[in-house]
Structure 1
Amino acid sequence: MVRPNNNQLPENLPQLQNLIKRDPESYSDEFHIQYQHFLSLLEVFALNPSEENKSLDDTVMFVAQVAQCYPAACELFPKHLADLLRNYATVLDPAMRNCFVKALILLRNKNLVPALDILELFFQLLRCPDKNLRTFLQAHIVTDIKNMNAKHKDMKLNSSLQNFMYSMLKDANPKAAKMSVDIMIELYKKNIWNDPKSVNVIATVGCFSKVTKVLVTSLKFFLGHDEEDEEPDTESENEVDLKGALLANRVSKKTKKGQKQLQKIKKQAVKAQKKKKNAPAFNFSGIHLVHNPQGMAEGLFKQLQSTNERFEVKLMHLDVISRLIGIHELFLFGYYPYITRFLQPHQRQVTRVLQFAAQASHELVPGDIIEPILKTVANNFITERNSSDVMAIGLNATREICMRCPLAMGEDLLQDLAMYKTYKEKSVMMAARSLITLYREQLPALLHKKDRGRQTEAQAERKVRAYGEREVHDTVLGAEALLKNSKTIDIESDEDSDSNDGQWVTVTHSDGEGGGADDDNDEEEEDDDEIEDENDGDSDEGEEEEDDSNAEEDAASDEEAAKQKKEKKDLKILNQKEAAQELALTRIFTDEDFKRINAANLKKTVTNSRKRPLEQDRAEFVKLNSIEMIFKKRKHDKESRLETVQAGRQDRERFGWKDGRVNEHCSKTNSEKRKTKNFGMMRHKARSKVKKSFRDKQISLRKHLLHQKKMK
């Protein structure tokens, strides 16, 4: 019996592909035959590119799979495919177009084609009206650029691609421009193209695009969130239960499959533990990397004034402009009158508009510019004709604006708003008190005397800054705490310092026994006080014999003594600050020292004042919750009301008719049984209970009387 020959070469391309990869030299002739067949099919396909050719499809994938075995023969193969896509991209059959793209990607993965040429071609293919192809190309472009910058960043390639994408953002095709900006944003989020050049391309081109989708995507980038929804955190859902797996393995039957699963779970647990210990990666906000924030803010404001986009897009403009003004401390005085027109309680999303007004406030803006906003908020929101929630939101917004620009508030307006501290609604009362607390820290002189409260040490040390003044520190704040009864500085003489060969100044620690400079000063003050008390006692004995004129001299001497005592105290504080400054310059503080300094600074903020200190660090952005924060007891929902009802029914007799029988097992009367009978059995009884009319009653009565008369 003769066996048939299973070798079907060259028709069987998968078999030939397998044999070529194993032994390229032996099957060189077969490959060249297929390559010539590909060239002939290509010429025929060029005559009618819109028609699908299955044979060309198979041949292209075959050549792409084995091209690395014959690099010299396949040198022009990528160029043929690229020319087809470049010339006939929009008219090609979708299946053929996808085949050519996949073949080029396969060649790119084998490093048989330059990355720049392929990526530029793929960016041009984003113009094709094929959503699946565009999504596929976007994923490949991002992955390819990420892999190229995995070990080290290729600055030359990145610069060339960024310049090409700069032109793609200006493309007339809106889909290509939108996909290009999506790719740039995704690469920025993956920390690949997180340089200022990419950010400024989006700022100068994307934010001023005529295409609404490109404009919105670029604005969302500077607002800190992408168009796509964030992926849910599945880490908690797929958490590895290692303890449960170990317990199950102990009590269950021992099998090879179970042991493999246990080892897999152990590896997952170790991997999850390492992932938890890794420091989280944060993206630096792109709004900080803008080269010309003033020009960008002015351009966006001009675009906002002339745009006809929907209200949500205008809100994005206002948000980005306010962030630029607040972070970079810009001057855009026309922004504040424009935003004032939206400050009405009935305005849609008015809390966000108030948020933008607060974000656009900073210390360098003159108070006269922001004061109209405060007056508008006070007139439109903080009035008793509005609800308590509207009033509370207005007060909260006023507080957030004044927190960033305290000089914008006038004395009369502040005192009027402070009177709401005793308002009947708790939400308004708490909002007014928070405003009072802010100005107790910033400008207590603007408040009424009864609202200033007891001054703290931190308030006494803080200086009221004028417009444009900056607070510059020449030492570590709170370093005086290291001088009090715990540490003394022993600054050696020049001779001793020479013997130390330039080492640090030594600092000796004491437990309070030896005292220090402060203790000596305190003792001197006590001695002085005792001497003054003795002198006062002697003078008191002589005062009885002197005239009233001597009393005036004593009063003057008391004032002079008080003045000298105050000067002495100020001198002591000055000496203490100089000692603390010298300590900071001659010594490196330890972690324990900084803990004591922080504790001392915190104590200053709460001494003789509030229970909790005011936050000193201002956030870059105003949180919407800070304006919408309303202290109010909410009404019960249905579930809580039902819980209250059920709790009230406990230990209470059942509502309804109660059986009055002494023995509950005895028989019931006919009237009691009648209540549980079926209606069909009692229908005739119900009919008899129909009320008679007055005429029927007369007839029945007459019949009854006649019957009685006959019976007699």
Structure 2
Amino acid sequence: MIRIREQNEKIKQRRADVQADEDAFKKTQEAERVKAAKTKKVQENIDRTREQNARRKMEKIQTREWDSGKPARDWKPVKKPEDGEDADKAPRQSIGIRGVSRGGRGRGRGRAQRTSAEASAETSEEPKAAEEVQSPPETEAAVDWTIGAVPDCTARGRRTGTLSVTSTMGRGVLLTSNLPQLQNLIKRDPAAYKEEFLQQWNHYNSIRQIFQISPDEQAQHFRELVTFIAQVAQCYPKETAEFPSHLSTLLLENYGTLSPDTRKSLVQNLVMLRNKDVITSIVLLKTLFPLLPRTTSTTLRALIRKTILSDIRTANLRTKNHKLNRAVQAMLFGMVERGMDAEVVGDKGKLRAASGMPAQNATQNGGEAMWAIVLTKELWKKGIWNDAKTVSIVALGCFHPVTKVQSASLHFFLGSDEENDDSDDEEEDEPDVKGLKHRREINKKTRSGEKKIRRTLKSFKSKQKRKADAFTPNFPAIQLLNDPQTFGEKLYDNLNRYDKRFSLDHKILLMQLLARVMGAHKLCVLGFYTYIMKYLTYHQLRIPAILVALAQSVHDLTPPDALTPVVRKLAQEFVHPGVGSEVIAAGMNAIREVCRRQPWAMEEDLLGDLVEYQKSRDKAVTAAARGLLQLFREVNPGMLKRRQRGKEASMTMAGGNQPLPFGHSTDAAVDIEGLVLLEDHLKALRAEEGIASGDENEDDEAAWEGWDVESSEDSDDSGGWMDVESDGEDLEISDSEDEGEKRPAKGKGKADVDADAESTQDPTPVEEAAANRISSLATTKILTPADFAMINDLRIQAASQAVERGAGSGAKRKLAALEAKKKALSQSGNIEDTFVSENDILGPRKKAKADYAERMASIEKGREGREKFASLKGKKSKAAPSSSTNREKARNKPIMMIIASGAVRSKKKASLRDKQQKLRAHIDRAKKSHH
């Protein structure tokens, strides 16, 4: 109660202060009104005196003219030049009377303006009271008065003129009520109108205090004052230093009580202050970011969003503004992080209701994080931000408790937009490119037609590119993930823990992202394969997408023990006679994609059963079985039966080339492959440039070369048992060091074979040292991505030279592998070469036979636009009855009459030249119709 009383007393005191300020302002206005009234009264006395003097002058002149028989004078007003008007073009300002003759009678032009002597003489006759009247003060506006006489004087008598008096109020009263005029004057001369501005500033503070208590009072006047101060704030930076904070405080603390017009006005004035460099971008964005989730106005939300994006884009236009980017990224990260402590609700209605979490709080927390994700995605899409911090913001949103925020973050990495446009509308708007080209070939060639086709093709290509990009995964963002192993484990934990709270669509999104992260970074999250096995049934909804996620998660470092149960489950659920051919094809294609990445996951007996499906009558099943057979012919033909291996695979096995089991390697990794080639290339470049290496470096290299020779010899001596052969057994699998060896021919003896073996197995020390040389470049230089690209090119060049020298099939296979790897790296953005699609799983499918409903729908579609559902053949169906055409009659003629016709006889008697011309014309028509 005491606090309430203190608050009431403070409110009363504030209201009393505001009322005192209002009274002071009213007193000031009243004083100005009194002053203006006094000035007006003095001015009226001056005008009255001048009018009397003018009447006397006019009476004298008219009396003089009537007595002499001269025409009367028309007194016309003399206008004073206004501010800015050219003095030469303005009428003369002397107090005189112009005489105008009556037009049309050819009389004299009348007497000219009176001389200065006459004017002074008449002025001396005026009463002295007029001379004693003082002119208005300089601060008052001048009063224009003119005399106008009656235009025509036909009767004898006195005509008097009329006076038109215009007066203005004082400058203070005028500027107080006209803020735009005061704003214009302040921008021209800020120092001269500082007092008027301070008066408006004090008035603004008073209105602001009233506005904070009751926003409905004087809202329009308050908006006008705020706009006025924002316009002239740059002229008085010290006086208006706290003005931006006032607007921010009103928006952030009193947003709910403000009217929509007031909110929009305050935001617009803040943006104006930013455009005038009164405030910085960080100050503006700190105010606008919290407003996005709170506003309900579509126009205001669009204005705030556009302002944020344009401000950040402008700041990063020429160079990256790292200070602003770090500050904005910290704000966005905080917006996402503030709602992370809430409970995961999920997207199922029953579980949402059972969770006991208020829906409004979840919406508020999710709204702030949602806007942070949307803005981050927009900045990434426009290319303004492309660093790892941006990816970290969205990666944090993947674990937000609100499912909507999770979905937006997952779509960012998957590359698909949530806001799907109408594909039907886009298809209708697509131009007929083929038809345009065809018409272009036939019609007359013009420049406008060429430009039209170019514009159409350009728009068509851009639409196609947008469609392709809409479904392309965001691989750069996936590659920029910080600690991808932890990210993948969190995704799996989120998927496994809240399995019953998420819908199937949301779980598939999580599976797809986890699979792509595992495939891109070669992660091992083995629990994922156990989790996904429960969804591997042919009747599961969206099973193609689940199979795609499974295949995408496998890589060459995945343990085969974890994949073997998955492959067995796929075969049991999808490949058996109790399901349709499409199901069998999908299952076998999924097994093929898994084994393409890890061939050792397949069991030999299971492979034999699957390959037998190549004898199926269904095309899709046959294609899937043949694809699996061809895969194992390339990667591991030893698992196939002898008659299924093929010629090339059998020759490869006969040569002793067998794939190594999982986890085995031919040689230990002692150096980066191809680094020696890079070192030699750099030495050659230095030699061309004339840069010689120092003596110490050459000595060090010679010492390392000697150590290489000794170490290789020691290793050969210690590992000599690997060269032992078995004469009595025909080994099918040989070690890598024995690949070049062949079985001795029948015509050779044992001594000859031993001699050949010694000659082939005992290379010279120089050759052995060159082959086993280890480069020291990795210890002296930091290798960049450009260096690794150069290493790949040098390896391809070396392999090409080896093939040209006739090194053998091994060199050819190595060259093919290197070229394939380079092609895969260069086409990393191609959707077909980077990840599995649903079409790869489903395979080729034949068109299913239409049922009764589909056939009837097609018939109804064909009847549209027809008056009757009958044939149009016959006279009655025509609009105007008429006879049949000659073409119709010729079609119904008997065959014997056609044979005896002149057209047929002329064809028989046609010359070879006529036949060639007709054939050429036919070919030209066919080409045109084809295009």
Match of residue 365 from structure 1: 558
1:473-622 aligned at under 5 Å gives the runs 557-558=747-748, 560=750, 617=824, 619-622=833-836
How far the C-alpha of 1:474 sits from its partner, in A, is 7.2
Question: Which digits, 9 at most, give the CA deviation of each residue in 1:681-701, with x for residues without a partner?
Answer: xxxxxxxxxxxxxxxxxxxxx
Contact 1:476 1:581 in 2 (8 A): no
Match of residue 58 from structure 2: none
Matched, 1:378 2:592: no
CA distance in 2, matches of 1:620, 1:555: 48
Matched, 1:217 2:408: yes
1:122-521 aligned at under 5 Å gives the runs 122-132=288-298, 133-169=300-336, 170-171=338-339, 173=364, 174-204=366-396, 206-229=397-420, 285-307=476-498, 308-455=501-648, 464-469=659-664
CA distance in 1, matches of 2:229, 2:245: 13
CA distance in 1, matches of 2:551, 2:545: 10
Task: Give the 3 Å change call, closer, same or farther, for CA 595–371 of structure 1 in structure 2.
Answer: closer
Contact 1:188 1:194 in 2 (8 A): yes
CA distance in 2, matches of 1:438, 1:320: 27
Q: Name the Cα RMSD after superposition.
A: 5.3
Task: Using the TM superposition, name which of 126-135 and 285-294 deviates more.
Answer: 126-135
Task: Give the 3 Å change call, closer, same or farther, for CA 246–15 of structure 1 in structure 2.
Answer: farther
Secondary structure (helix, strand or coil) at the match of 2:648 reads coil
Secondary structure (helix, strand or coil) at the match of 1:179 reads helix
Task: Give the 3 Å change call, closer, same or farther, for CA 464–590 of structure 1 in structure 2.
Answer: closer
How far the C-alpha of 1:563 sits from its partner, in A, is 5.7
How far the C-alpha of 1:103 sits from its partner, in A, is 0.6
AA at the equivalent of 1:162: Q
Question: Which digits, 9 at most, give the CA deviation of each residue in 1:495-528, with x for residues without a partner?
Answer: x99x9978xxxxxxxxxxxxxxxxxxxxxxxxxx
Contact 1:300 1:317 in 2 (8 A): yes
CA distance in 2, matches of 1:606, 1:453: 22
Secondary structure (helix, strand or coil) at the match of 2:659 reads coil
Secondary structure (helix, strand or coil) at the match of 1:153 reads coil
Task: Using the TM superposition, name which of 454-463 and 12-21 deviates more.
Answer: 454-463
CA distance in 1, matches of 2:745, 2:255: 102
Match of residue 219 from structure 2: 53
Contact 1:458 1:604 in 2 (8 A): no
- Whose relative contact order is higher, 1 or 2, with alpha carbons under 8 Å and at least 6 apart? 1
Match of residue 510 from structure 1: none
Match of residue 627 from structure 1: 841
Secondary structure (helix, strand or coil) at the match of 1:208 reads coil
Contact 2:413 2:474 in 1 (8 A): no
Contact 1:199 1:290 in 2 (8 A): yes
Contact 2:248 2:287 in 1 (8 A): yes
Contact 2:674 2:794 in 1 (8 A): no
Matched, 1:101 2:267: yes
CA distance in 2, matches of 1:35, 1:348: 67
Match of residue 121 from structure 1: 287
1:26-45 aligned at under 5 Å gives the runs 26-45=192-211
AA at the equivalent of 1:340: M
- Pick from 248, 256, 276 the counterpart of residue 110 of structure 1: 276
Task: Give the 3 Å change call, closer, same or farther, for CA 561–61 of structure 1 in structure 2.
Answer: farther
Identity within the alignment, %: 32
CA distance in 2, matches of 1:249, 1:220: 43
Question: Which digits, 9 at most, give the CA deviation of each residue in 1:640-687, with x for residues without a partner?
Answer: 9x9xxx9xxxxxx999xx999xxxxxxxxxxxxxxxxxxxxxxxxxxx
Task: Using the TM superposition, name which of 313-322 and 158-167 deviates more.
Answer: 158-167
Contact 2:183 2:232 in 1 (8 A): yes
CA distance in 2, matches of 1:555, 1:127: 84
CA distance in 2, matches of 1:59, 1:426: 79
CA distance in 2, matches of 1:30, 1:245: 73
Task: Give the 3 Å change call, closer, same or farther, for CA 625–19 of structure 1 in structure 2.
Answer: farther
AA at the equivalent of 1:380: E
Question: Which digits, 9 at most, give the CA deviation of each residue in 1:305-336, with x for residues without a partner?
Answer: 23212111111111122122222222222211
CA distance in 1, matches of 2:754, 2:847: 55
How far the C-alpha of 1:28 sits from its partner, in A, is 3.5
Task: Using the TM superposition, name which of 282-291 and 365-374 deviates more.
Answer: 282-291
Q: Which runs of 5+ in 2 are unaligned?
A: 1-76, 78-143, 145-165, 340-360, 438-442, 678-686, 694-743, 776-789, 826-832, 863-870, 872-886, 895-931
Task: Give the 3 Å change call, closer, same or farther, for CA 468–574 of structure 1 in structure 2.
Answer: farther
CA distance in 1, matches of 2:204, 2:656: 86
Question: Which digits, 9 at most, give the CA deviation of each residue in 1:560-594, with x for residues without a partner?
Answer: 5996799599769999x989979999x99899958
Q: TM-score, normalised by structure 2?
A: 0.51
CA distance in 2, matches of 1:156, 1:614: 44
How far the C-alpha of 1:71 sits from its partner, in A, is 1.8
AA at the equivalent of 2:335: M
CA distance in 1, matches of 2:539, 2:836: 22
Task: Using the TM superposition, name which of 356-365 and 29-38 deviates more.
Answer: 29-38
Number of equivalent positions: 552
Secondary structure (helix, strand or coil) at the match of 1:383 reads coil
Task: Using the TM superposition, name which of 49-58 and 89-98 deviates more.
Answer: 49-58
How far the C-alpha of 1:210 sits from its partner, in A, is 1.4
CA distance in 2, matches of 1:458, 1:580: 29
Task: Give the 3 Å change call, closer, same or farther, for CA 230–196 of structure 1 in structure 2.
Answer: farther
Secondary structure (helix, strand or coil) at the match of 1:285 reads helix
Task: Using the TM superposition, name which of 154-163 and 87-96 deviates more.
Answer: 154-163
Secondary structure (helix, strand or coil) at the match of 2:535 reads coil
Task: Give the 3 Å change call, closer, same or farther, for CA 119–474 of structure 1 in structure 2.
Answer: closer
AA at the equivalent of 2:183: Q
Match of residue 141 from structure 2: none
AA at the equivalent of 2:178: N
Secondary structure (helix, strand or coil) at the match of 1:95 reads helix
How far the C-alpha of 1:107 sits from its partner, in A, is 0.5
Matched, 1:81 2:240: no
Task: Give the 3 Å change call, closer, same or farther, for CA 372–500 of structure 1 in structure 2.
Answer: closer
Structure with the greater alpha carbon radius of gyration: 2
How far the C-alpha of 1:352 sits from its partner, in A, is 0.7
Contact 1:415 1:447 in 2 (8 A): yes
Contact 2:292 2:301 in 1 (8 A): yes
Contact 2:524 2:558 in 1 (8 A): yes
How far the C-alpha of 1:443 sits from its partner, in A, is 0.8
How far the C-alpha of 1:297 sits from its partner, in A, is 2.2
Contact 2:207 2:222 in 1 (8 A): yes
How far the C-alpha of 1:69 sits from its partner, in A, is 2.2
CA distance in 2, matches of 1:574, 1:382: 57
Question: Which digits, 9 at most, give the CA deviation of each residue in 1:434-482, with x for residues without a partner?
Answer: 11111111111011112211227988696513223468797669x9xxx
How far the C-alpha of 1:150 sits from its partner, in A, is 2.4
How far the C-alpha of 1:349 sits from its partner, in A, is 0.7
Secondary structure (helix, strand or coil) at the match of 2:287 reads helix
Question: Which digits, 9 at most, give the CA deviation of each residue in 1:224-272, with x for residues without a partner?
Answer: 23434489999998x9x9xx9995799xxxxxxxxxx99xx99xx9xx9
CA distance in 2, matches of 1:98, 1:566: 93
CA distance in 2, matches of 1:387, 1:207: 38
